[in-house]
Chain A
């Protein structure tokens, strides 16, 4: 992006064409962003989700300030174990006497980190593969599509479990496991959009002017599929958070890092459900549900904005 949007194409000396074109495009894109934001703001549910998410992210970022790590060091605390909610510990304590609220905040860091990081991995792979599979023809396309199909039909949970047991437990493992297994549907989505875009006349004109593959993909196809990818990303984060919790619950995460999934696992393993310690079982579960719901609301609203056929339904 440049900030030359105030200039008119004719004002500039050569290579004015290049600058002029991008400045027009930039201006148009900025307008479009403002338009999208205006329409997004009019969506009540979308805004609710967004505000909630920003609040959760702020809490997660501030967790070390709000709940110093020392208060979760089991050797430094003497709070009663499995204590029901009190004023000092609004969500009670876990079997080691740690505050559930504090663990929930620290858990949000891992859950959000994994959610976002895995989504980035997934979306980058999915977008690149999707555009390539849509753009190229013949053998290349055939091979790419078969790879996508493979990852689409392989049960992603099983693949993720295998991956994390091969690489060994840990946060990075979970990010890779989720990212590598969840990109295929994004790729199909991007491919169909790529096919649509590439059949439009202005792409044909580019070809006629001698544009290279990389030019068409990066200058025309990528900007055109980006909105779709963005909306898809928001929804993928939700799935990634669930997947992270699942893998941690199954014991494939690093159990010494607190995440919502590992909290649920520990609650399950220590018999919190039988013991009636609802304050250990419910908060992480509800946190997952609410955050995933928020991502879904934002994603849906965003999708409706960029895809007018969805509106008003």
Chain B
């Protein structure tokens, strides 16, 4: 009996971490086993949510190995310490699909061209300039010729060609960026400063963006690059290079003296792992870390009043949406999953969209820290964002109109107020969300009564992230909360709405964003994919988003702001992307942390000892006392029993 009490006590002390770790491992294994490289972006961003929130249930901070100064940097400048929440999948740039890993690699490897800090515009990366042939199928990049890797070796066109060809030729290296080279015919380096990419058909997105270029003299010498961990004393061309990685101690990066834009003003970066953002926030307050991202609104508001801490609300590059299953089909056109067939009626889906008040969800669940959604592309990418006038949003919140739509469509309400579907069954829908994301349950608390108001019964089910991924892929849902982080080019996001992106019957193969398929949309996608005129392309992309909006399969609720906080008594000068109300962490490029400027070099040595949150200590003490009391009492009882 007192064994049970001990068990209960142990929950709080360590089992929490263990079980969560177990869950995480299961999830990450699953994500690695997804076979199709085309889903790279999916996993990256779904992974971001999962990784960021997985630890949220844990309440005890594991003993943290504190940062060790990186060897090799003689600089006296301080290191910038960032909180790392969630596990890193791998630091191999060919394989890393989780945001935790790929965000760090952004600092290590440059691309041919990259996304600028000003407004996510394409700016020179490894290549200084580039031009496109008449028909748009040959892209020629010119390199400056004097660039060096962090170990002093010259960075040439050969390195670029080797990297691209490795991804094109070796299947094991396609995991992270394979989908980006599908349209490539060849990548060649006629001389040291020229790279030529030949495409099978013209494309609007710049083919030199998004693929990290690795040094051939390191990677070419490896027997099997796919198994290389890339975790110690690495060589790169970005502002920081990884010097060591340990799951408990985190990741150390040292500044690269050969970086083309000049050496960083900090001597390096340290990613210190934390189990959840609450622990990271406490560490920020005590000065153990200098920057924390992924805050909840409550944490963000609590940190606003701290004098030594500055908070940053960056316009998010992620949308949050309520997806509705329009009748999923597999790649052969056969029904997939167990979605409620009633939802195949567009009128019913539109009525659901009209019953959900996005403005209330934004103000109550996100405390207003975000922007109301229209199409899928968030406001941070103004070129492609659908800046809709109110009258264009025909599916805006209006329960009366929703009720009328359903009345007119013949969904008659029964005596209990629940409508019957076309085959006479009461309309009862499931609403799925992630158990690790508190906003999903909070939003479900609102949506359930709203849909009840238009005569639809809703049961909510919060599942593990891996389960939500699996169920949504094979269409085992009626409605679920989804969200995608997006790069500056919307091509990928749109591409996964094509009919050709429907998965195989077992969920493998391509990934479909909403399990929806429309020939009109496919035409718009192809038109924008090959449209080289920016204005026309933007128009096409917005039209494509309107198609999704009107189909009511993926009702974008809001674009949540990225909430970050940093120690402004130590570092300043962070460049945000975009420059106006942008983000510092998780940028499309290295600008945010590269631009960190120490306030004073004297601060560097001071490092307060780790002190866990008072709540945690208090809670643990109370639980220890209770558990102890129960154990003691039971022990006394047990002794008496033994005597009989």
Contacts and interface: CB of A to CB of B under 8 A. Distances in A.
A307 interface: yes
Interface in B409-455: 435-436, 438, 441-442, 444-446, 448-450
Given A157-B10, A251-B57, A189 B460 contact: no
B57 A74 contact: no
A278 to B, nearest CB: 8
B282 interface: yes
Contact of A255 (B462, B613, B619, B641): B462
Contact of A165 (B438, B464, B615, B630): B464
Interface size class of A (residues with CB under 8 A): 35 or more
A208 B279 CA distance: 69
Nearest to A242: B8
A310 B643 CA distance: 11
A140 to B, nearest CB: 24
Contact of A271 (B296, B636, B644): B296
A6 interface: no
A265 interface: yes
Contact of A81 (B2, B299, B367): B367
B15 A158 contact: yes
A152 B367 CA distance: 47
Given A156-B4, A265-B57, A270-B296, A250 B19 contact: yes
B123 interface: no
A274 B282 contact: yes
A2 to B, nearest CB: 32
Nearest to B440: A255
Nearest to B8: A242
Interface string A143-157: 000000000100111
Contact of A277 (B4, B298, B445): B298
Interface in A230-282: 232, 235-236, 238-239, 242-243, 246, 249-251, 255-256, 265-266, 268-277, 281
B462 A251 contact: yes
Residue from A192, A274, A285, A303 with most neighbouring chain B CB atoms (10 Å): A274
A274 B281 contact: yes
A89 interface: no
Given A157-B15, A256-B460, A309-B643, A97 B364 contact: yes
Given A270-B298, A275-B301, A76 B462 contact: no
B8 A274 contact: no
Interface in B284-304: 295-299, 301-303
A249 B4 contact: no
A251 B436 contact: yes
B1 A75 contact: no
B449 A152 contact: no
B185 interface: no
A97 B16 CA distance: 29
A292 interface: yes
A95 B4 contact: no
B448 A256 contact: yes
B562 to A, nearest CB: 15
Given A74-B364, A156-B7, A238 B1 contact: no
A289 interface: yes
Interface size class of B (residues with CB under 8 A): 35 or more
A271 B277 contact: yes
Given A256-B460, A293-B626, A250 B16 contact: yes
Contact of B5 (A239, A271, A310): A239
Interface in A197-254: 232, 235-236, 238-239, 242-243, 246, 249-251
B278 A274 contact: yes
A194 interface: no
Contacts, number: 159
A63 to B, nearest CB: 18
B59 A289 contact: no
Contact of B461 (A73, A75, A152, A169): A169
A128 interface: no
B4 A256 contact: no
Interface in A173-197: 182, 185-186, 189, 192, 196
A96 B445 contact: yes
A195 B19 CA distance: 39
A14 B535 CA distance: 105
Contact of A189 (B12, B613, B641): B641
Nearest to B367: A81
A155 B365 CA distance: 37
A99 interface: no
Nearest to B18: A158
Given A250-B57, A270-B298, A296-B630, A157 B364 contact: no
A154 B11 CA distance: 14
A130 to B, nearest CB: 12
A81 B360 CA distance: 12
Interface string B1-42: 111110110111001100100000000000000000000000
B601 interface: no
Nearest to B630: A296
Interface in B280-327: 281-282, 295-299, 301-303
B389 interface: no
B444 to A, nearest CB: 7
A24 to B, nearest CB: 26
Interface string A289-313: 1001100100010010001011001
Nearest to B447: A75
Contacts of B19: 157-158, 161, 250
A250 B8 CA distance: 12
B629 interface: yes
A17 interface: no
Given A266-B438, A307-B640, A74 B445 contact: yes
A270 B367 CA distance: 11
A72 to B, nearest CB: 9
B347 interface: no
Contacts of A271: 277-278, 281, 295-299, 302
A313 B633 CA distance: 12
A219 to B, nearest CB: 22
B302 A274 contact: yes
Contacts of B11: 157, 246, 250
B56 interface: yes
A68 interface: no
A168 interface: yes
Given A152-B3, A266-B442, A310-B637, 13 more contacts: A76-B449, A82-B298, A96-B365, A155-B15, A156-B7, A169-B435, A185-B4, A239-B8, A250-B57, A268-B278, A274-B613, A292-B630, A313-B636
23 contacts: A74-B446, A74-B449, A95-B298, A155-B15, A156-B7, A157-B10, A185-B4, A192-B641, A196-B644, A235-B634, A236-B1, A250-B19, A256-B444, A270-B298, A270-B442, A273-B613, A273-B615, A274-B278, A275-B299, A275-B301, A277-B298, A303-B637, A310-B636
* Pairs of residues from A and B, 8 with the lowest C-beta to C-beta distance, nearest first: A269-B438, A275-B298, A271-B299, A271-B296, A185-B1, A271-B298, A273-B615, A275-B302
